[in-house]
Amino acid sequence: MSKIHVQTTINEEATEFLCEPRESLLEVLRETLGFTGTKEGCNDGNCGACSVTLDGVLIDSCLMLAVEAEGKSISTVEGLANPEGLHPIQQAFLEHAALQCGICTPGFLVASKALLDHNPEPSEHEIRHWLAGNLCRCTGYDKIVRAVLEAAQTVRASA
Amino acid sequence: MKDFEYCAPKTLREAVALKAEKGEAARVLAGGTDLIVQLRGKRFAPDRVIDIKNIADVNELSYSPRKGLIIGAGVPCWRVYNDAEIAELYPGLIDSAAIIGGIQIQGRATFGGNLCNSSPSADTIPSLMTHSAVCNLIGPNGKRKVPVVDFCTGPGRNVLEPGEILVSLQIPGIKKNTGAHYQRFIPRNEMDIAVVGVSSQVVLANRGKEFKEARIALAAVGPTPIFAAAAGEALAGQAVSDEAIAAAAAAAQSLATPISDMRGPAEFRTHLVGVLVKRTLEGAIARARGKFVANAVQEAAG
Amino acid sequence: MSAGNGYKVIGTRPVRHDGVDKVTGRAVYGGDTRLSGLLYGQVLRSPHAHARIKSIDISKAQALPGVKAVLTGADLPKTGDTIVDLGEGPARLKYMSDNVLATDKTLYSGHPVAAVCASNVHIAEEALDLIEVEYEVLEAVLNLREAMKEGAPQLHPDMTTQEFGEDTGRTSNLATHFQHKLGDPDTAFASADVVIEREFNTATVHQGYIEPHNATAMWNADGQITIWTSTQGSFAARAQTGAVLDIPVSKIKVVPQEIGGGFGGKIPIYLEPIAAMLSKASGQPVKLIMTRPAVFESTGPTPGSHIKIKMGANKDGKIVAAEAYIAFESGAYPGGLVGAAAMCVFSCYDIANGLIDCYDVVLNKPRSFAYRAPGSTQACFATEHVVELLAAELGIDPLEFRLKNSATTGTRRIDGVVYPKMGCKEVLEAIRDSEHYKSAAPSGPNQGRGISLGYWFNVGLQSACTASVNNDGTVSLSEGSTDIGGSRTSIAMQFAETLSLDVDDVRAQVVDTDSIGHTDVTGGSRVTYATGWAAYKSALDVQAQMCERAAQLWEVEVDQVAFEEGVFSSGDKSYTFKELSGHLDETGGPVIGRATVNPDSGVGGSFAANIADVEVDPDTGKVQVLRFTVIQDAGKAIHPSYVEGQMQGGSAQGIGWALNEEYYYNKDGQLDNSSYLDYRIPTSLDLPMIETIIVEVPNPGHPFGVRGVGEANIAPPPAAMAGAIADAIGVRLQELPMKPSNVLAATQASEGQAALAAGG
């Protein structure tokens, strides 16, 4: 099949690419565009390592064809920090040692950002429920949940 | 995965033409959370994938007392459960929408896709069945309506003709004193496929003391989701009691024909049908009486 | 931030030096490797659990446009009967090679049979479908006890049983049979007041790391090979790849990329030789990333087991004898983990008489590999069950019973090891003194509490470290231990502590195999211990050299230079470390400290314990964890957050093992749950906060008292969960996982027995 031209916005930058219809958004992000911060853990929607937001909605980028991104706005882990510094969620993950190997971390960060955008004051249970689609095998989630609780506070305080 | 032609029609007419042209060699893409996994797993190798999400009709999500609830085939779960009016009126459907996959999956997955995928373990199908949902289909020969209870014909199989597309699901308005509840049993608390799923809907009479009507449907205990009509019908006219509920549970169990697999042994599944019919009937009764019974999202909100 | 104990750095919680890279997505993991001209590989795997490969026709795959090379087992060097020891004990090289790419037979579904590289991953995958393999399907055996029976389908017709160190000459699936014996168990059992014996089965489980295996290789025209991979040990990967490819290690450079979890499963190689051979054939770099199903079907698993435990005690509560029968799955090839189980099974207790009888058995599953305290979890589940029953039978509180029998300094284990100073009793005391234990046990219907105690011996092995002092007084530290959980920082902290430096002035990096001395795997809870020790020694080397430089500047003898609290001094002259670093160029140039270690004694084992509160749904058998505490002896916690993290992570894995994780094979020997959908590791919603209590009984065998903490924490959770479930519903399960259907069936069986008893 010939490749398809797709116009999209990634981390607030207008971005265009060519892709085969069978290529997933994850594959294009990583291989074509070099956004390797978005990770592949299972390629079937069960681990959340490839989490991105699509027009603000949290999704697994492995379960979307790249061609479906036409006209959409995508945010990845690379878009969290800005020149002024890390996002409070990133900072909280560092200070709480909420990562060990770090492979699931980008997905957790993107998912946590989406949570706080949707619910600025989540309870522990709401955090656990929201993040259940992101698997971590290293931490037992304790420090991740604590980091999100603290980041929520920081975000609220600065709002 | 074999490459394919990607089409994103803007009208139903175009979509039908694209589908009819390729027949079985075309697959419809809605949320994609099943289809893309199946393409990767080589369960299907279509020549053409038709993305219907750019068609206005399939993005409709509306409620009116006259038409009831319309859920377009491309409407993702999150839109359904985040709609306050729908959540208020149809908590039994929200039960299903809120537990499909995780938040990421709910960002894409649709009721329509869940139905057309026609998995025996689909979480929305029992709820659609008990809510008397009807499929609005369109094909080369025009439109037709098919009740959801008649839609699935086998694992991954359904009544859709080669050129046909599901446009939307239509769920009648809710009668007074009605309550519905869906529960599934899974080993973890999230992210699993139902070992067993049960939806119950009841209409109560006599100040909530008597069953006027009841509908019960089961997932993951047969080659298709099962509308356990007899189990529900037997409740009509009976007083609400533990005995009546137990009898309905036993009746539903007798309609279940589960297999043993990695999600659970057959006898365990039959047992769970009894447990979940009881629990969902109790939840449905509570809701019919105006009591609050939390769904997964509300549970998370405490 | 003060650390106490006179330490300035150790015991504090600095942000890890690789942290920003990891939260911004910039850290480069194996799968992120990008090279000019990169090709993509895919591996064809056997659908059959046991089959003879009659022929492989690759011609159609080769003809597909975009395909650059196709590889089969026939392309790997013939290895003959060479025996190699690459860090995991002696093994037949042919077995290692055949596990990379099968030659004559496939021994499990998922066994690699061919590989392809192409210009993109989809073409490579299409090419796999064009490879025609003719199999003669053989009868398979996937059940441990079946595999041990006479007449069972035999995986290796030429494999003879090694028994008590001797070759029996008998062929069977039993690879090894050995025993450890201490004292006179028969007499001791005869004298015991109470003897309890039980039998246990545990399922095959996987390490479950989120990052799939990957390897990228470039075979240069000059014969030099570079491999970028996510591995627990770059030197182990180099040695294994060199052995399989029959190439000297000097021709191979392994560049360890960031690694997305390993837990023991990324010690063996799978893709590295394939990537190298495909690169050789194509002349371009080749990257392979395993699919998730392949990860489950072909890598990892840690053994399923069949265990019998018999223990005897006296009325005064002293355990007098213990006997274990331990049979472990080794998977498709021999060399499993039953030896480690033997070193753990009774090792929490001081028992004078015992026999440990061990069997290593091959069957048609992937080759078993280490998983966090390998063998200890299965053994702990069994032993702790019998310990609880003994305590109950004797009417002694189970914690008191454990304290009474706790291993301690000087305890001789049944396998002969005599303990140096150990924290077993202290860990038990920490249970007793914990808020959790003192709080009322959950008293709702079907709620209960359990405790358990587990052990891992930890290892030492070789590590190297070099430290370059920069002229501003900062230090670039190079080491070879893959960092899977913050070890760069824990190592830098030990270096910084030694020289009283600010930890942020010591930048540790993990370097490739050409850039550092041999360093063994990140495994055995050894990195903070051994590589930390190397960092400490390299700091002392820097200190000695810096003293010489000061002596030179001040024109005094070197022994007249003192170094204290980060300051060099002699008489009234003094320089801080930073000041002196500014004078290196005028005193002979850069200072590089270096050190290697291979501590064969002094490795301090670690004990871990749990308190678990659960609630069981009596209608469905589903278990909810209400509260969970993990207690572990860290010797000295270098970075307490990372120690807690290890404890919490091991607990979560142990809970998953306890409740849901298992390999589920269908009747054709194919793995039906090769996805995270159906191989159910815990989600965030399945766990409570995991409370940690770090016990510090300093290891006399380490300069800072460190005991590795990576592993012991996975041993006790299934036992604690079993105890809590027993407390909740009155049924103590003897099988893992304690999944809902098993719990329900056990409850129903117990009710049935009770009804029978009442009726009879």
Residues C341, A85: Cα–Cα separation, whole Å: 48
**Rounded (10°) angle between helices C717-729 and C740-759:** 40
Q: Which of A79, A101, A127 is the last residue of a domain?
A: A79
Task: Using an 8 Å CB-CB cutoff, list chain B residues near C660.
Answer: 187-188
Please give the residue of chain C at the shortest CA–CA distance from B193.
C677
Tokens describing residue C171? 């062929």
Contact B126, B219 (CB under 8 A): yes
Whether B275 sits inside 8 A of C685 (CB atoms) is: no
Domain B5-171 has CATH 3.30.465.10: yes
> Helix count (H) and strand count (E) of chain A?
5, 5
Beta bridge partners of C115: C43, C71
Contact C317, C402 (CB under 8 A): no
Task: Using an 8 Å CB-CB cutoff, list chain B residues near C620.
Answer: 185, 272, 275
Task: Using an 8 Å CB-CB cutoff, list chain A residues near B2.
Answer: 22
CA distance B126 to chain A (A): 23
Inform me whether the C-beta atom of residue B243 falls under 8 Å from chain C C-beta atoms. no
Q: Nearest Cβ partner of B189 from C125, C126, C686?
A: C686
Whether B107 sits inside 8 A of A57 (CB atoms) is: yes
Whether A139 sits inside 8 A of C675 (CB atoms) is: no
Neighbors of chain A by Cβ distance (3+ pairs < 8 Å): B, C
Q: 3-state DSSP call for residue C501? A: coil
Residues C564, C542: Cα–Cα separation, whole Å: 14
Q: Nearest Cβ partner of A43 from C258, C292, C646?
A: C292
Of the pLDDT bands very low, low, confident and very high (cuts 50, 70, 90), residue A140 is very high
HSE-up (13 A, CA, CB side) for residue A40: 25
Contact A71, A8 (CB under 8 A): yes
H-run or E-run covering C354: strand C353-362
Contact C581, C470 (CB under 8 A): yes
Distances (CA, A) of C132 to C69, C119, C137: 16, 21, 15
User: What is the full DSSP assignment across B170-186?
Assistant: EEPPPPTTEEEEEEEE-
What is the distance of C-alpha C724 from the center of its chain? 26
CA distance C662 to chain B (A): 9
What's the confidence (pLDDT) of residue C80?
73
The pLDDT tens digits of the residues spanning A68-100 come to 999 999 999 999 999 999 999 999 999 999 999
Maximum C-alpha span of chain C:
98
| Chain region(s) in chain C for CATH 3.30.365.10 | 19-27+460-597, 141-205+301-419, 420-452+604-760
What's the confidence (pLDDT) of residue C89?
66
Residues C474, B199: Cα–Cα separation, whole Å: 66
Chain pair B-C, CB pairs under 8 angstroms: 54
Q: Which fold has domain C141-205+301-419?
A: Aldehyde Oxidoreductase; domain 4 (3.30.365)
CATH of domain C19-27+460-597: 3.30.365.10
Secondary structure percentages of chain B, helix, strand, coil, to 5: 35, 25, 35
Q: Are residues A35 and A65 in the same domain?
A: yes
Burial B232-256 (b: 16+ CB within 10 A, else e): bebbeebebeeebbeebbebbbebb
Q: Are residues A123 and A66 in the same domain?
A: no
Q: Nearest Cβ partner of A65 from B6, B104, B299?
A: B6
Residues B231, B254: Cα–Cα separation, whole Å: 9
The pLDDT tens digits of the residues spanning C293-352 come to 999 999 999 999 999 999 999 999 999 999 999 999 999 999 889 999 999 999 999 999
What's the confidence (pLDDT) of residue C69?
98
Q: Are residues A12 and A75 in the same domain?
A: yes
Beta bridge partners of C611: C451, C629
Whether A143 sits inside 8 A of C652 (CB atoms) is: no
Q: Tell me, what amino acid is at C618? A: P
Q: Nearest Cβ partner of C26 from A37, A132, A134?
A: A37
Given a cut of 90, whether residue B52 has pLDDT beyond it is yes
Q: Are residues A44 and A65 in the same domain?
A: yes
> Pairing state of beta strands C735-736 and B134-139?
unpaired
What's the confidence (pLDDT) of residue B299?
80
Q: Nearest Cβ partner of C740 from B1, B102, B187?
A: B187
The predicted model scores a pTM of: 0.98
CA distance A7 to chain C (A): 22
Whether C29 sits inside 8 A of A39 (CB atoms) is: yes
Inform me whether the C-beta atom of residue B191 falls under 8 Å from chain C C-beta atoms. yes
Inform me whether the C-beta atom of residue B302 falls under 8 Å from chain C C-beta atoms. no
Task: Using an 8 Å CB-CB cutoff, list chain C residues near A139.
Answer: 645, 648-649, 652
Please give the residue of chain A at the shortest CA–CA distance from B188.
A132
Long-range contacts of B158-163 (CB under 8 A, 24+ apart): B158/B115, B158/B116, B158/B118, B160/B116, B162/B19, B162/B20, B162/B23, B162/B24, B163/B16, B163/B19, B163/B20, B163/B23, B163/B139
Distances (CA, A) of B72 to B52, B100, B153, C331: 10, 17, 22, 50
Distances (CA, A) of B76 to B60, B80, C355: 11, 7, 61
* C-interface mutation test, from A26, A27, A96, A141, most C Cβ less than 10 A away: A141
Whether A57 sits inside 8 A of B51 (CB atoms) is: no
Of the pLDDT bands very low, low, confident and very high (cuts 50, 70, 90), residue A1 is low
CA distance B118 to chain A (A): 18
Q: Are residues A8 and A75 in the same domain?
A: yes
Tokens describing residue C272? 């590295």
Residues of chain C short of pLDDT 50, as ranges, are 1-3, 760
Share of chain A above pLDDT 70, in %: 99
CB atoms within 10 A of CB C12: 19
Tokens describing residue B151? 């839609």
Q: Nearest Cβ partner of C680 from B192, B268, B271?
A: B192
Tokens describing residue C254? 């392994």
Q: Nearest Cβ partner of A1 from B4, B78, B108?
A: B4
Q: Tell me, what amino acid is at C533? A: W
* B-interface mutation test, from C685, C686, C751, most B Cβ less than 10 A away: C685
Closest CA to C471 of C586, C555, C569, C593: C586
Q: Are residues A13 and A75 in the same domain?
A: yes
Inform me whether the C-beta atom of residue A100 falls under 8 Å from chain C C-beta atoms. yes
| Chain region(s) in chain C for CATH 3.90.1170.50 | 33-140+207-298
Quote the domain boundaries for residue A33: 4-79
Residues A16, C137: Cα–Cα separation, whole Å: 50
Inform me whether the C-beta atom of residue A86 falls under 8 Å from chain B C-beta atoms. no
Residues C94, C92: Cα–Cα separation, whole Å: 5
Task: Using an 8 Å CB-CB cutoff, list chain B residues near A19.
Answer: none
What's the confidence (pLDDT) of residue A98?
98
Section B39-49 average pLDDT: 96
Q: Are residues A65 and A92 in the same domain?
A: no
Whether C685 sits inside 8 A of B189 (CB atoms) is: yes
CATH of domain C420-452+604-760: 3.30.365.10
Section B204-231 average pLDDT: 98
CA distance B144 to chain C (A): 36
What's the confidence (pLDDT) of residue C82?
81
The pLDDT tens digits of the residues spanning B107-138 come to 999 999 999 999 999 999 999 999 999 999 99
Closest CA to A9 of A36, A29, A38, A37: A29
Chain pair A-C, CB pairs under 8 angstroms: 183
Closest CA to A55 of A10, A116, A104: A10
Contact C14, A97 (CB under 8 A): no
Inform me whether the C-beta atom of residue A153 falls under 8 Å from chain C C-beta atoms. no
CB atoms within 10 A of CB B28: 24
Task: Using an 8 Å CB-CB cutoff, list chain B residues near A134.
Answer: 102
| Chain region(s) in chain B for CATH 3.30.390.50 | 178-300
Alpha helix segments (H runs only) across C246-314: 272-282, 292-298
Task: Using an 8 Å CB-CB cutoff, list chain A residues near B8.
Answer: 67, 70
Tokens describing residue C747? 């409850």
Residues A42, A48: Cα–Cα separation, whole Å: 8
CA distance C597 to chain B (A): 45
CA distance A96 to chain B (A): 23
DSSP B31: S
The pLDDT tens digits of the residues spanning B67-106 come to 999 999 999 999 999 999 999 999 999 999 999 999 999 9
Contact C41, C286 (CB under 8 A): yes
CA distance B188 to chain C (A): 6
Task: Using an 8 Å CB-CB cutoff, list chain C residues near A86.
Answer: 20, 23-24
Please give the residue of chain C at the shortest CA–CA distance from A101.
C484
CA distance B97 to chain A (A): 14
DSSP C15: P
Q: Which of A33, A51, A79 is the last residue of a domain?
A: A79
Inform me whether the C-beta atom of residue B220 falls under 8 Å from chain C C-beta atoms. no
Q: Which residue has the tokens 């810096």?
A: C546
User: What is the full DSSP assignment across A131-142?
Assistant: GGGS--SSS-SH
Going by C-beta distance under 8 Å and a sequence separation of 6 or more, which residues neighbour residue C447? C441, C613, C614, C615, C616, C626, C728
What's the confidence (pLDDT) of residue B192?
96
Q: Are residues A73 and A114 in the same domain?
A: no
Task: Using an 8 Å CB-CB cutoff, list chain C residues near B263.
Answer: 678
What's the confidence (pLDDT) of residue C2?
42
Q: Nearest Cβ partner of C660 from B188, B190, B272?
A: B188
The average confidence (pLDDT) of chain B is 97
CB atoms within 10 A of CB B145: 9
CA distance A37 to chain B (A): 18
Q: Are residues A95 and A67 in the same domain?
A: no
Q: Are residues A71 and A92 in the same domain?
A: no
Q: Are residues A92 and A34 in the same domain?
A: no
CATH of domain C33-140+207-298: 3.90.1170.50
HSE-up (13 A, CA, CB side) for residue C572: 0
Contact A49, A104 (CB under 8 A): yes
The total number of structural domains in chain A stands at 2
Q: Which fold has domain B178-300?
A: Enolase-like; domain 1 (3.30.390)
> Pairing state of beta strands C225-229 and C252-256?
parallel
**Rounded (10°) angle between helices C93-100 and C272-282:** 70
Please give the residue of chain C at the shortest CA–CA distance from A103.
C260
Alpha helix segments (H runs only) across chain A: 25-27, 88-95, 105-118, 124-130, 142-158
Inform me whether the C-beta atom of residue A43 falls under 8 Å from chain B C-beta atoms. yes
What's the confidence (pLDDT) of residue B302?
62
What's the confidence (pLDDT) of residue C759?
67
